[in-house]
Amino acid sequence: MIVIMKILAVGDVVGRRSIEYLSKTLRRTAASLGADLVVVNGENASEIHGLCKADAQALLDAGADLITLGNHAFGSRDLYGFLDDNTDVVIRPANYPAACPGVGCTLRRVNGLRVLCMNLSGTAFMEQLDNPFVAADRLLEREKGEYDIALLDFHGEATSEKLAMGFHLDGRVQIVFGTHTHVPTADTRILPAGTGYVTDLGMTGPTNGILGTDAEAVLYKMRTRMPVRFTVADGPIEAQAVLFTLEDTKPHRCVKVERVTF
């Protein structure tokens, strides 16, 4: 079989130092892996709670072809216009109310194929948005016949909900990957009907903090339950990502799911 596409999905970028890190490493890594499309979750890139317009542009300049978001999608007001004006390069969870800025899915053309890229938020231990399973069905039905390949960034807290989404979409989309927890899971796999899956990509951020956040601040909060301002941790940064390889079957299938750390 012929490889038709490789898609690199990069875990949640935590803080501006991590954007700088990607600006030095992402293009080179994507090229060496032969990635045709690079998807980066950027919702924590502007110092944890959100993404501002300048940092969205910096992620694109660093080599992200598409930015996905999550529960902090609307953390920076200055991104609202950018979300509406750049729906081909940045998407937010589709199960937010329709009145919110931006869109929840976009069509990209890669290697002559139409790739439907979707973003949804989980609702287990998260904000009570529209049912993401119903929202996924609705998106696929709406875009029926318009795409050759489909992928989903499912931004969720609960491993069970993310795995359930993988099975819900198994055989109907090529790729489902989870984001949000900042902890890379060891379950890269092909689901029974052929969907490439991982519960969580992990993060792009400082490894000696707690989920990328300064450990002292988090520990203060845990010990005292007092309000505290979280900051991004110092120290070395690592990018945690997953590479999905698709082959020219009918329908196109994901045949390999590999962890990539750089």
Q: How far is the CB of 105 from Fe ion (least distance, A)?
A: 18
Task: Report the candidate in 43, 142, 137 with the shortest Cα–Cα distance to residue 91.
Answer: 43
49, 72, 168, 180: which is the annotated catalytic residue?
72
Is 211 or 246 the residue whose CB approaches Fe ion more closely?
211
Distance CA 79, CA 177 (A): 24
Give the C-alpha separation, 132 to 120, whole Å.
6
Cβ distance to Fe ion smaller for residue 4 or 203 = 203
Pairing of strands 189-190, 196-198: antiparallel
Measured from the CB of residue 50, what is the shortest distance to Fe ion in angstroms?
A: 10
Q: Are 47 and 16 in contact (CB under 8 A)?
A: yes
72 in catalytic set: yes
Give the nearer residue to Fe ion in terms of CB position, either 44 or 245. 44
List residues near Fe ion by CB under 5 A: 70-71, 180
Length in residues, the chain:
262
Among 37, 31, 27, which Cα is nearest to 149's?
Answer: 37
Nearer to Fe ion, 12 or 36 (CB): 12
Q: 180 or 253: whose CB is closer to Fe ion?
A: 180
Residue that the structure tokens 């990018």 belong to: 239
Nearest approach, Cβ of residue 122 and Fe ion (Å): 10
Residue 48 CB, nearest distance to Fe ion (Å)? 10
- To the nearest whole angstrom, how small is the minimum distance from the Cβ of residue 144 to Fe ion? 29
Encode 67-105 in three state secondary structure.
EECCCCCCCCHHHHHHHHHCCCCEECCCCCCCCCCCCCE
Find out whether 115 and 91 touch, Cβ atoms under 8 Å: no
Please identify every residue annotated as catalytic: 72
